[in-house]
Structure 1
Amino acid sequence: MEMYNNALCVSPQELTGIISLEALKKMSQRGTVQQVRRACYGSCALYVVESLPVQYRAEVYRRYPDIKEQAESKPFVESVEPDGKAMQFFADYVLSDGRHLTTEKQREYANNCSVLAAFGQMLDRANSHRMRQSKGRINAGEFWAKAAAALPRLCDRWPNSLPQSPRRLRMKYAEYQAQGYECMISRKFQNKNAAKVLDAEQTASLQVLLAHHNNLPDTEVARRYNQVAKVKGWPQITASAVAVWREKCDLVTAAARRGATNFRNERTMQVKRSRPTAPFLMWSLDGWTCELLFQQTTVNKQGQRTTTYHNRLTLEVVLDPCCDYPIGYAIGSHETPALITEALRNAARHSRELVGVMMRAYQIQCDRYAIKTMTDLYQVMSKHVTPARAHNAKTKPIEPYFNYLNTTYCQKFDNWSGFGVTTNPKKQPNSEALNALRHSFPDEQGVREQIHKIMAYERASKRAQFMQMLANLSDEHRLPLSKENYLLYFGATTGMTNAIEGCGLRPTLLGIKRDYDTFDLTFREHASEKWQVRFDPDDLTEVLAVNEDGSRRYMLREKYVQPMALAERREGDAEQLEAVRAFNKQLETHVTEQLGAAYKTVDRMIQDTDRQEALLLGRLLLTDSHGQHKLPAAQQRLSQQAITDVEYETVEPTPAMPAGW
């Protein structure tokens, strides 16, 4: 149904069930029903509703109670088209407080603009059509009345917030023409007339109260603020207003309320990094209190025995994050520099099992525990040392690895103590069950065996992937660990010092006297030094000798044992014997050359001294014990002349003896 020539018309399809098509045509031919438009391609026939017989007209009004309103609003509904520029304008619009309009408001305001633009185009087309017919403009009041009446129909397809009063709708259209899209934005988004916290002093006072480290509730903040407001003459505020300001100032007050560490972990921008693509590019190490309980019995001075069941050990792990492979680990009662050293020692030894030589990492990431004490060791075990910022667990990949160990392995044991104290209590183990099972907890050695099994399984399950990724390690980043540095920082000591003997050094290692020596000539120049011997209990073929102040170091090899009997000589004995003889010959030559050079230097010093004494006697009139000056001077001059003559005397060659003599 639609309005045609200011008459409400209906199509034959809408009259289906009311009157047949044949009857409608007959009544149209007789002139009983008025047909205002014939059917053609793209449009249907239209018949005036008021020309229908009374019984049919009543049925049409009963079936379509708002038929007239629908017909009058149809041109308005069909004329509205979406406005893309309006949608983009409201999507990019920023309010004075930095907020954007909600998606719902953007769509609502864009529809308002589309509807008003369509109304304006309809009004212009109607006036233009009447002017071409030399008629006056249409009645604006009637147009806007019909437009306002059509708004409820438009809301189904174009949700809008335009006023449904003809007068207000006309005023809104005039405002839209004058101001454009911005006139649609409600002033309530930027209205500050009802605000009670306005100036900088009021805002600062409220922020200080909200930032209090005790996390004061809203009611207490409002009470304290109102005490200041009463003195200053400011308006009073309520707890609900404080709640709004708490959310608004959350970023500013977060660090003071919850601490700088929490602020850095939750509010500051985080850096996202990728895992290393090859082993030995980076190691991350840290200590973790292993969540496995063991029982321990202690005896006090009075002989009373006390058993505790809440004891835990500390696991220090050196992790290669390329595939979360535990390259090294150590177990202790608590984290200490010695425990970290043992973990790095285990990493060096295990790298030799994997690669064939001891390796060090290109980079070590650690926390700041004992950083001054451990820096030298970290620098030996890597090329770059990058300590993480204090209290920043997110930068270390080893922190999630500890949680992985806890949930994957430890949680399966009956002596599992749970997660951290900040974890939801519903996820913690049953404390009553732990108390009932405490007598079956293993002792300290039993927990150590549990941890060793966990780490052994971790290495076995990830070793294939680790070795496969080892092919990605370039020669530039392949850094071997020298035996000297390994023994210097990880070697065991006897607690005693040794002096150089004819056979070298003779320390007692593992209860046995052993002989060590080196082919370095300078080692024997320090016979007066006392040497501390550092050794690897699993490999005693080489040791490191370090003097007392650590300024001199020598790598010594275990002496080769030659058989006394010629009949027992083996292959290689002759070469070793010849090496010792060559060294001794070189040593003797070295000593002879040094001593000869010293003699020559002293001879030159003596000659220079005699020459200086002669010059001194000639320049000073010093007499001898007999009161003579000229005679000693003359004698010395003559002896000097004789020496000169001898130095330049030509010696004739001795004639050759005749043959046969």
Structure 2
Amino acid sequence: MEYISNNKIALTYGEYVDLFGLDSYKNDKRRNNIIVHGLGGNGRKVYIEYEALKENRKQVIRAKYGDPYEYLAKKPVLNLINWDYEAQKFYEHYVLPNGLKLPACDEDINGKRQINYVDRYTRAASWLNMLSDFTNDKKALKRELKISLAVFWDIVTELIRTQEIGIPANAKRLKEKLKQYQELTEPAQQYELLIEKFRFGNGNAKKIKGAAAEAVLLKLLSDPRKHDYTVVAAAYNKFAESNGQHQVTPGAIGYFKNRNEHILAASREGRKNAYSKYSKHIQRDRASAPLLFVNADDNCLDLFFETETWTELGGTKKSKYYRPMLYVITDTYNDYILGYAVGDRVTHELIYEAFRNAMNHIQTLTGNYYLPHQLQTDRWGLDVKLKNKLAEFYSKVAIFTPQAHGVPQGKYIERSFGVEWHQVLKAMPSNNYAGKNITAKERLSAEYVVQASKDYPKIEEMPAIVETFIKVMRMKPNPKTGISRQQEWLKAFNASEKSKVKIIDTAVKLQLMGKKRAGEPLMLTASGLRPVLEGKKISLDIPDQVIYENHGKKVEVIYDPQNLSEVLITDGKGLRFVARPYQKVPAAIADYQTGDRERIGGLFEAKKQIGALLTQTLEQRVKILDEIHIDPQSLLQAGILIKDLKQGAETLYLEGQYQAESIRPKGQKAVKQATKQQIAAQEPEAEEELNPYDFY
């Protein structure tokens, strides 16, 4: 409170807001219930006239400060107080017996007004410093205020009361406190004298003294069964009685437990929850573009379905509370759902199915298949050394960085299963929402669940309902931007060269994520291949050249169950190509459609080319015999030619051991002579049957 122009009394803006609140100030100003001087800002002050206030406001002010005119007459004393910054530094760093520092916040926390004890004790020390100076120098008191010591004490006690200073407002008790303060020679001792230690901590808990007593109590409280404090107190008091310790109450046990919550959390709540709560969270920037960093995780979908199960007696029984497992792949760029798969439980095949779904969705959006740069999942299904089949699959898809055990907050996808996820589930037209985590605070009432279960969809409807849910999540506007996550993702993808780096073709996609057809390998024939995939018999279009060169070869079929329009054919060696379903041609000319005539012509042209190859290839391959002057027909006519001798003759020629022109007759004669010698040598054994495979 201060005097302003024309000796009017006015409250400062801060005093008015402290008494009546900011909302009251704004309302009073808008309704012209107060007269305001000054604009505020840049160090300027705002004042509210006292006399212009309504009577109810004046009563509150008088209750706080007393008569305003008398208060201002006493206010010069306030100008004598110098803020003790050494005291403030002491209180800022002071540690209480309970291991905590003094509260230094004067804001509302959880609806409860907090006291700034650092400010409170610093202000008290500053007042005692002023009182000590002026009581020791009475001349200074008369020189500064021109009042007697008795009047001074009256003014001081009144101001201490109205200003709510943390020292006694009674003159007698105030003088006693000042004497205690002056008797202490060290400033630190003086400052500590003002701390009201009884306000901080349960005095009963001080009875728990010594390492042994604390160890016993910590052990009792760390029991994961979380015994009631009365049970723990009874057990501890048995120890205390036999070891000369004080008895404690359940309240003291509770206080001790709260003080040591961080030590007990791992045992009482589990290491996973404790680690998440007490370990510092590493804050990260999201990926700067799509496909740079994707997450994958399972989620027990909070939707109920009606299903039938077999009983031990061979019958069936209905269950209305079946919940499927959903495996989801999201892009951390904006939590966009790239792919998913749904099933009874999480398996390796369910994970592969989700990745196939993601690749197909990316191809639908962009026109090509793209792999992500980095992948993060939990460690489900992985071995310690990350060497099993699933770990190898992850490593082929992207740089694989699995999340540490028990740290779910490390994955962005965990946050995707939050508020927005459940908002959509609640609004699903199937009306089978199961509640946010069936044991959480937001679970549904039992009465509602029983009533709603009458109309739960059957398990056969689950794929369509889950697909609808995923579509809604993809197309729902992002609350931060107002446009759908799919639009965000696609726009950012088209603008980023990084996102397009890991482009792959169909063959690579099927090699990475395809499913091998069950059963024995199939044989390539002129009819192509007709495998049964996912219960469907499919005729595959095999290129003419492949049939010609690999007729009769056994091959495997690798396919994507979600996209049977392209499959990978391989023999596990050098043969590998992508085949698509065969498109039959119409037999009747009347059934021809646009392009059929050209297509049929192309098919016949391909057959002609293969027909030509049937003769031309052989002719090309045997031309070498003319070059090396070997006539297989004459060899046949000459009689039986032993394979070793024939090969020897050819080798001699190729090694250039004789000139063709000069030795051709001699060579032919030698061959005939050698043949006769061989036949003569075999005449005694002529009765034995000759093996035709030993020749040629």
TM interval, short-chain normalised: 0.5 to 0.7
Q: Secondary structure at the match of 1:387?
A: coil
> In the alignment, which of 154, 159, 165 is matched to residue 165 of structure 2?
159
1:260 deviation in Å?
0.9
The alignment status of 1:458 with 2:458, answered yes or no, reads no
Asked if structure 2 preserves the Cα contact closer than 8 Å seen for 1:73 and 1:147, the reply is no
Q: Secondary structure at the match of 2:371?
A: strand
Partner of residue 331, structure 2: 320
Asked if structure 2 preserves the Cα contact closer than 8 Å seen for 1:560 and 1:576, the reply is no
Q: How does 1:179-578 map to 2 (within 5 A)?
A: 179-180=186-187, 182-186=189-193, 189=197, 195-297=206-308, 304=315, 306-371=317-382, 372-380=388-396, 382-403=397-418, 404-412=420-428, 413-424=430-441, 427-461=442-476, 462=484, 463-475=486-498, 478-488=501-511, 489-491=513-515, 493=517, 495-499=519-523, 506-508=529-531, 511=537, 514=540, 516=542, 530-535=554-559, 538=563, 543-547=568-572, 554-555=576-577, 570=601
In structure 2, relative to structure 1, the CA distance for the partners of 1:580 and 1:264 (3 Å cut) is farther
Q: 1: CA distance between counterparts of 2:405 and 2:319?
A: 33
Q: 2: CA distance between counterparts of 1:193 and 1:267?
A: 27
Q: Secondary structure at the match of 1:442?
A: coil
Q: 2: CA distance between counterparts of 1:326 and 1:193?
A: 55
Partner of residue 80, structure 2: 79
Asked if structure 1 preserves the Cα contact closer than 8 Å seen for 2:376 and 2:401, the reply is yes
Q: 1: CA distance between counterparts of 2:427 and 2:598?
A: 66
Q: Secondary structure at the match of 2:248?
A: coil
Asked if structure 2 preserves the Cα contact closer than 8 Å seen for 1:296 and 1:443, the reply is yes
Q: Output one character per residue of 1:335-370: Cα deviation in whole Å (capped at 9) or x when no partner.
A: 222222111111111111111111221122222222
Amino acid at match of 2:158: R
Q: Secondary structure at the match of 1:555?
A: strand
Q: Output one character per residue of 1:461-505: Cα deviation in whole Å (capped at 9) or x when no partner.
A: 43322211213432476312332232233245263313566x697
Find the structure with the greater CA-based Rg: 1
1:224 deviation in Å?
1.6
Q: 1: CA distance between counterparts of 2:279 and 2:241?
A: 37
Q: Output one character per residue of 1:47-93: Cα deviation in whole Å (capped at 9) or x when no partner.
A: xxxxxxxxxxxxxxxxxx99xx9999787555333334433443343
Q: 2: CA distance between counterparts of 1:261 and 1:241?
A: 28
1:188 deviation in Å?
6.1
In structure 2, relative to structure 1, the CA distance for the partners of 1:415 and 1:78 (3 Å cut) is closer
In structure 2, relative to structure 1, the CA distance for the partners of 1:588 and 1:499 (3 Å cut) is farther
Asked if structure 2 preserves the Cα contact closer than 8 Å seen for 1:517 and 1:556, the reply is no
Q: 2: CA distance between counterparts of 1:459 and 1:605?
A: 72
1:216 deviation in Å?
1.9
Relative to structure 2, which stretch is displaced further, 318-327 or 454-463?
A: 454-463
Q: 2: CA distance between counterparts of 1:229 and 1:358?
A: 71
In structure 2, relative to structure 1, the CA distance for the partners of 1:100 and 1:147 (3 Å cut) is farther
Q: 2: CA distance between counterparts of 1:568 and 1:473?
A: 40
In structure 2, relative to structure 1, the CA distance for the partners of 1:536 and 1:128 (3 Å cut) is closer
In structure 2, relative to structure 1, the CA distance for the partners of 1:94 and 1:225 (3 Å cut) is closer
1:573 deviation in Å?
7.7
Instruction: Give the structure-2-normalised TM-score.
Output: 0.62
Asked if structure 2 preserves the Cα contact closer than 8 Å seen for 1:314 and 1:331, the reply is yes
Amino acid at match of 1:389: A
In structure 2, relative to structure 1, the CA distance for the partners of 1:315 and 1:106 (3 Å cut) is closer
Partner of residue 138, structure 1: none
Amino acid at match of 1:100: K
1:332 deviation in Å?
1.9
Partner of residue 105, structure 1: 117
Q: Output one character per residue of 1:148-201: Cα deviation in whole Å (capped at 9) or x when no partner.
A: 55531330347141684486366346336x322541213764999993332211
In structure 2, relative to structure 1, the CA distance for the partners of 1:152 and 1:389 (3 Å cut) is same
Amino acid at match of 1:168: E
In structure 2, relative to structure 1, the CA distance for the partners of 1:428 and 1:96 (3 Å cut) is closer
The alignment covers a number of residue pairs equal to 527
1:409 deviation in Å?
3.3
Q: 1: CA distance between counterparts of 2:541 and 2:177?
A: 109
Q: 2: CA distance between counterparts of 1:498 and 1:124?
A: 111
1:249 deviation in Å?
1.5
In structure 2, relative to structure 1, the CA distance for the partners of 1:232 and 1:397 (3 Å cut) is same
Asked if structure 1 preserves the Cα contact closer than 8 Å seen for 2:369 and 2:504, the reply is yes
Relative to structure 2, which stretch is displaced further, 477-486 or 200-209?
A: 477-486
In structure 2, relative to structure 1, the CA distance for the partners of 1:454 and 1:543 (3 Å cut) is same
Relative to structure 2, which stretch is displaced further, 576-585 or 477-486?
A: 576-585
Amino acid at match of 2:542: Y
Q: 2: CA distance between counterparts of 1:170 and 1:302?
A: 90
Instruction: Give the structure-1-normalised TM-score.
Output: 0.65
Partner of residue 23, structure 2: none
Amino acid at match of 1:338: E
Q: 2: CA distance between counterparts of 1:338 and 1:242?
A: 51
Structure 2's unaligned 5+ residue stretches are: 1-6, 8-65, 105-115, 383-387, 477-483, 586-596, 629-643, 663-696
1:519 deviation in Å?
7.2
Asked if structure 2 preserves the Cα contact closer than 8 Å seen for 1:112 and 1:161, the reply is yes
Q: How does 1:109-148 map to 2 (within 5 A)?
A: 109-122=121-134, 148=153
Asked if structure 2 preserves the Cα contact closer than 8 Å seen for 1:362 and 1:477, the reply is no
Asked if structure 2 preserves the Cα contact closer than 8 Å seen for 1:144 and 1:170, the reply is no
Q: Output one character per residue of 1:6-34: Cα deviation in whole Å (capped at 9) or x when no partner.
A: xxxxxxx9xxxxxxxxxxxxxxxxxxxxx
Q: 2: CA distance between counterparts of 1:414 and 1:71?
A: 69
Asked if structure 1 preserves the Cα contact closer than 8 Å seen for 2:237 and 2:248, the reply is yes
1:206 deviation in Å?
1.6
Amino acid at match of 2:302: E
Q: Output one character per residue of 1:116-163: Cα deviation in whole Å (capped at 9) or x when no partner.
A: 4334544676558999xxxxxxxxxx9877765553133034714168
Q: 2: CA distance between counterparts of 1:397 and 1:567?
A: 54
Identity of aligned residues (%): 19
Partner of residue 135, structure 1: none
Q: 2: CA distance between counterparts of 1:188 and 1:506?
A: 90
Asked if structure 1 preserves the Cα contact closer than 8 Å seen for 2:324 and 2:344, the reply is yes
Amino acid at match of 2:576: Y
Q: 1: CA distance between counterparts of 2:607 and 2:272?
A: 64
Relative to structure 2, which stretch is displaced further, 295-304 or 492-501?
A: 295-304
1:378 deviation in Å?
1.9
The alignment status of 1:90 with 2:101, answered yes or no, reads no
